[in-house]
Structure 1
Amino acid sequence: MSLTIVWLLTLIIPLAMGLWAQNKVKRTFARYSEVPVRSGMTGAQAAAAVVRASGLPDVEIRAVQGTLTDHYDPRSRTLNLSPDVGQASSVAALGVAAHEAGHAIQDARNYLPMRVRQTFVPVASIGSNLAIPVIFVGLILGATGLTTIGLALFTAIVAFQLITLPVEFDASRRALVALNDGRLLEADELDGAKSVLSAAAWTYVAAFVASLSQLIYFFLASRR
């Protein structure tokens, strides 16, 4: 198989998967954003209820700008929610808010995959900025050592995204358990939240597949 064909396969398939995943999460979030929860609870209130029930009183909930910019920051122990999640009283909002609260629970419980992922953050950050330029320069100059360094940096990115998968899946599992046990959502509402979190999970899978495909291409190119 020629390198050109490999390049097309490692580009087109991950790109198509990524576009599909992004479209799926947007459509699913939009759909369930239109479904109000019967309790009238907002995403921020639901997140507060989840962390409180888990015995985590020191987690601060903050508002951040943007759309689907929600995240948990383990450095400051803050749960940051966008307006469409924190201030909304929809099935989608409570699902996403509880998911981020799930990350706070992971942090407090020293969830091993989360700890491992945190150790990859510095090198993955460096890799995201330098890996591809270093690989290209190494390939152009025929510098095997430089190319190897670039591949090592890119491998760290792939490893980071791989370990991200169980972290995200587990946070969603914790979210659904908390929403159910705390009776924050009714049974039919819980199904909607599950759909939102399942759609979001595909974006992480797509990102991993894309990075792994790139790594495979660069590795094969370095062996030419």
Structure 2
Amino acid sequence: MPWFFHPMDFLIIIAFAVSLWAQFRVSSTFNLWAQVRASSGMSGYEAARRLLDRNGLYDVSIERVPGKLSDHYDPAARVVRLSPSVYDQSSISAISVACHEIGHAIQHQHAYPMLTLRHRMFPVVRFASGLAPLLLIGGFLFQSLNLIGAGIIFFTAAVAFQLVTLPVEFNASSRARDLMISEALITRDEERGVAKVLNAAALTYVAAALISLLELVKYILIFNSSNRE
């Protein structure tokens, strides 16, 4: 059962390198456009609050949380949480990230199908993603196809969750860009910077999903090869 090294590992290593590059790019792009003040002069908090109010989401609050790029929307608590470099600043980066999170809040408001599916998958995936590595490691160590097969099933759920996340993130960014223009938070000239910040962030999700998908293919190939022996 050749699991220590597999031909698929070449592709996985390349995908991992892309992921590292994506992480670097999102940080460098954010830092670059954090130096450019938005013409509206609004902080990330002010831009987020305006979009929430314009869309009737008065009950969604905004919290300032520690960390760098720790920004997220919590659908259970109906809270948008923004990091200090987003909450307090009036840069292109700050309002781009803040409005992206508002995009998620608006998705929630309108029951965007992929977001709804993601929320429903989360409890199962949280359990599956923790158990899958144990099953796969146990299967390889004990040469058990049953454990490997079970691990693949659980790992598939985790990969599916990452794939569902992609349209959710891209849609939130698309909503954010449209709203930022319509509400005059940015000018047409500033849209280029917004696109660079949001696209860099989206690339990290694509890279992570690619790694997981390649790993899944690797496990399936190993399972099928071992099953024929």
Same fold (TM over 0.5): yes
Look up the match of 1:205.
206
The secondary structure found in structure 1 opposite 2:185 is coil
8 Å contact 2:136–2:148 — kept in the other structure?
yes
How far off is 1:94 after superposition? 0.4
Q: Alpha-carbon deviations, 1:107-152, whole Å to 9, x = none?
A: 0000000000111111221222221121110122232222221111
Residue type of the partner of 2:177? L
Map of 1:101 onto structure 2: 102
Aligned mates of 1:44, 1:93 — CA distance in 2:
9
Q: How does 1:135-214 map to 2 (within 5 A)?
A: 135-214=136-215
SS for the counterpart of 1:37 is coil
The one-letter code matched in structure 2 to 1:20 is W
Shift of 1:181: 0.2
- Provide, for residues 15-66 of structure 1, a one-character-per-residue CA deviation record: whole Å limited to 9, x for no partner: 1110111111111111000001122210011011111111111111001110
**Distance in 2 between the 1:117 and 1:38 partners?**
35
Residue 7 of structure 1: CA displacement?
4.1
Q: Which residue of 2 aligns with 1:90?
A: 91
1:3-82 paired onto structure 2 within 5 Å: 4-82=5-83
Q: Is the 8 Å Cα contact of residues 139 and 222 (structure 1) preserved in structure 2?
A: no
Between 105-114 and 5-14, report the one with greater CA deviation: 5-14
Once residues 71 and 189 of structure 2 are traced to their aligned partners in structure 1, the CA distance between those partners, rounded to angstroms, is 24
Cα distance between partner residues in 1 of 2:25 and 2:132: 30
Aligned equivalents of 2:136, 2:220: Cα separation in 1: 10
**In structure 2, how many angstroms separate the alpha carbons of the residues matched to 1:181 and 1:38?**
14
Consecutive unaligned residues of structure 1, counting only runs of 5 or more, are none
* 8 Å contact kept, 1:123–1:153: no
Looking at structure 2, the residues matched to 194 and 132 of structure 1 have their Cα atoms a distance apart, in angstroms, of 36
**TM-align CA RMSD:** 1.3
Question: Unaligned stretches of 5+ in structure 2?
Answer: none
Q: Which amino acid aligns with 2:181?
A: N
Partner of 2:126: 125
What's the secondary structure of 2:7's corresponding residue? helix
Structure 1 SS opposite 2:36 = coil
- Classify the secondary structure of the residue corresponding to 2:190: helix
CA shift, 1:13, in A, is 1.3
TM-score (norm 2): 0.93
Identify the range of structure 1 (49-58 vs 73-82) with the bigger mean alpha-carbon deviation.
Answer: 49-58
Q: Give 3-state SS (helix, strand or coil) of 1:79's partner.
A: strand
Q: Matched residues in 2 for 1:152 and 1:179: separation? A: 41
